[in-house]
């Protein structure tokens, strides 16, 4: 952190603005607004973009977005128009040139205790069809913040575990990310300790070396200024993160590269803004990879992909 960064943050750290959501909603309310819990209608867990993950990915904060009040005309009293959901980072298993690795996606789940919600999400299919679930349904029963650690109670269907297992690390990475805290995870079964205080293994050893946070699987783009904003993390040779957009026939229609903030010791953020307004409507694959300086002699490139839609 630079001196100026510190000064700027300090200068306004004490500013706690009044809550004006009600006032804003009073100005934006329309009388005929459908107040459905839309994610149930959509068939369970929906996927959303990672942009708002900061809202909920911290256990100590109130996980539920403030429910809005309806200020409609005609005396309508439809209640709870706000979707009670939260966006959580969840790690699943996928393939890589060096064997299975963890991939992260941001999933929107119903509001509630974030640790418990993350645990539930770990036991259901990933939104990205390339990823697999490491934990059969019922194998993880509960999670709670304990004294300097996170305690996870295993169900009867849980596999035998070691601290290095990717499945174990999927839980550790997910819960630490949700908790916003690197405290270790203890695994218990019927109250007996199965694995004590497991810490996160180094990123470069368990994560796929490139990951896409945005776009979310199935994100749609439309209009003359349609801009695909891609973000993710990577550890790639010289911090170069090549990306491409492929059409349904796997032809590369757009390509370029992003530069991550670093490489080697861990995964660093990268971002790219891609103008997709000239693409014909259809389904495309967005792929981000690591760069391969060996020209194919090395272990190969790591890849993460998302399906995107251009309308």
Subset of residues 83 to 102 that bind another protein, contact rule: CB under 8 A: 83
**Pick from 100, 107, 174, 108: nearest CA to 140:** 174
Query: Residue from 40, 44, 54, 299 that binds another protein (CB under 8 A)?
Result: 54
Find the shortest distance in angstroms from Cβ 185 to another protein. Answer: 27
Angle (CA) 118 229 29, round 5°: 70
Would you count residue 5 as binding another protein (CB under 8 A)?
Answer: yes
Subset of residues 209 to 238 that bind another protein, contact rule: CB under 8 A: 214, 219-220, 222-223, 227, 229
Helix axes 166-179 and 114-122, enclosed angle (nearest 10): 150
CB burial readout 275-296, b (16+ within 10 A) else e: ebeebeeeebebbbbbbbeeee
Query: Residue from 58, 65, 149, 188 that binds another protein (CB under 8 A)?
Result: 65
Number of residues that bind another protein (CB under 8 A): 46
Would you count residue 32 as binding another protein (CB under 8 A)?
Answer: no
Would you count residue 16 as binding another protein (CB under 8 A)?
Answer: yes
Query: Which span sits near another protein by CB under 8 A: 6-14, 90-98, 119-127, 297-305?
Result: 6-14
Would you count residue 78 as binding another protein (CB under 8 A)?
Answer: no
| Residues at the contact surface with another protein, assessed by CB under 8 A | 2-5, 7-12, 14-18, 20-21, 23-25, 27-28, 33-34, 38, 48-49, 51-52, 54-55, 65-66, 68, 81-83, 214, 219-220, 222-223, 227, 229, 271, 273
């Amino acid at each position: 952190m630079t001196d100026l960064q510190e000064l700027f943050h300090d200068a306004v750290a004490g500013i706690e603005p009044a809550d004006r959501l009600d006032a804003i909603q009073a100005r934006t309310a329309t009388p005929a607004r459908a107040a459905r819990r839309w994610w149930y209608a959509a068939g369970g867990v929906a996927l959303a973009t990672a942009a708002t993950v900061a809202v909920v990915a911290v256990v100590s904060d109130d996980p539920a977005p403030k429910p809005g009040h309806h200020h409609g005309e005609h005396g309508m009293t439809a209640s709870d128009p706000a979707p009670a959901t939260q966006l959580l980072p969840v790690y699943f298993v996928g393939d890589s040139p060096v064997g299975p690795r963890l991939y992260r996606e941001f999933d929107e789940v119903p509001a509630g205790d974030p640790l418990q919600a993350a645990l539930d999400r770990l036991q259901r299919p990933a939104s990205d069809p390339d990823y697999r679930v490491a934990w059969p349904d019922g194998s993880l029963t509960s999670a709670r913040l304990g004294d300097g650690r996170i305690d996870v109670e295993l169900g009867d269907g849980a596999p035998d575990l070691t601290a290095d297992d990717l499945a174990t690390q999927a839980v550790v990475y997910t819960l630490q990310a949700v908790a916003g805290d690197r405290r270790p995870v203890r695994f218990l079964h019927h109250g007996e300790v199965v694995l004590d205080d497991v810490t996160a293994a180094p990123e470069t050893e368990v994560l796929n070396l490139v990951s896409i946070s945005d776009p979310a699987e199935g994100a749609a783009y439309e209009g003359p200024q349609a801009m695909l904003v891609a973000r993710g993390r990577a550890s790639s040779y010289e911090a170069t993160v090549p990306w491409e957009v492929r059409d349904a026939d796997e032809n590369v229609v757009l390509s370029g590269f992003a530069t991550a903030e670093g490489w080697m010791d861990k995964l660093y953020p990268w971002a790219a803004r891609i103008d997709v307004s000239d693409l014909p409507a259809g389904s495309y694959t967005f792929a981000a990879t690591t760069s391969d300086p060996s020209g194919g002699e090395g272990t190969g490139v790591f890849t993460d992909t998302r399906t995107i839609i251009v309308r």
